[in-house]
Structure 1
Amino acid sequence: MRSHTMNTAVTLCAAALLAAGMATASAAPAPPPAADAGQQQAGHPVLVDCLWHPQEHPADFMIACGDGNSRLSSLHWSHWDSNSAVGKGFNVVNDCNPYCAVGKFHSYPVVVRLDHPQPWKKHPQLQHYTRMSLVYTNGKPDGFARVVTYPLWN
């Protein structure tokens, strides 16, 4: 009988915790709606993020969408037009030593250049940058060249 009482108590506690978690999640304020792609300025390409949101002048940008081991932070843009964009910030990279789950993140100052705008497949009325180049200005991750160029997703 004691085992049955214990199982019932554990089940009730688990149900209460689950209900409390659901109530907390449903009571949380909804995130602001993503900017409508149609509201972007005509002629100014966007940078498409990992969640397929168009961005102009983002302060942060995830490069490694799959694992989050490389991102840009503290971005300040000095130029953004119909052909290219240029900014400065930091590339925060996991050294994955001895493996990524226990690796340490290191920040490297970079100059970011976006270029090669093309129509965005999701919203053909918008142009999006299709190439990103990073120029490491003071140190760089092991195995990286001083200038690294990435194709950007469409």
Structure 2
Amino acid sequence: MSFINKTVIIRKPIEEVFDEATNFKNGPEVMDNVIDVEILTEGPVREGFQFKETREIRGRKASAIIEITDYKHNKSYTARSEQNGIDLRYHYSFTETTEGTRVDFEGELITKGLRNTLTKPLIQMIIKKEDEKHLDHLKKHIETVPSE
């Protein structure tokens, strides 16, 4: 079940939007608190592709390995991070419209263990605060990048 849902229209072609959205090196530009992204998998983005994302939260650095678990070029992808009993999945879908590209985002959180299950509402609130505006940042980033 999702705890974050967001949709934006980006005034650029679907190919350009998808390419920028899956250029994970853009993380510091589009995700609050992300300070570094290290690509761990060579080659193009695909299922199984991994990168390490480092965030700074309240003065502390935390890193997570993120894996692409579902990938359909120019259509959708899912990014998954799992650590300490917290399984976070971000689902993105891309649809061409007359105005540009519609990007739909859904965040899903699965907790394991009694402590994480009991604190799930708090965990959701923290994650939502950190990431709920990232599609707005992505839109601004893509719409200000000159087309090739």
Q: Normalised by the shorter chain, which TM-score bucket? A: 0.3 to 0.5
TM-score, L = length of structure 1: 0.36
TM-score, L = length of structure 2: 0.37
Greater percentage in strand: 2
- The structure, 1 or 2, with the larger RCO (C-alpha pairs under 8 Å, 6+ apart) is 2
Greater percentage in helix: 2
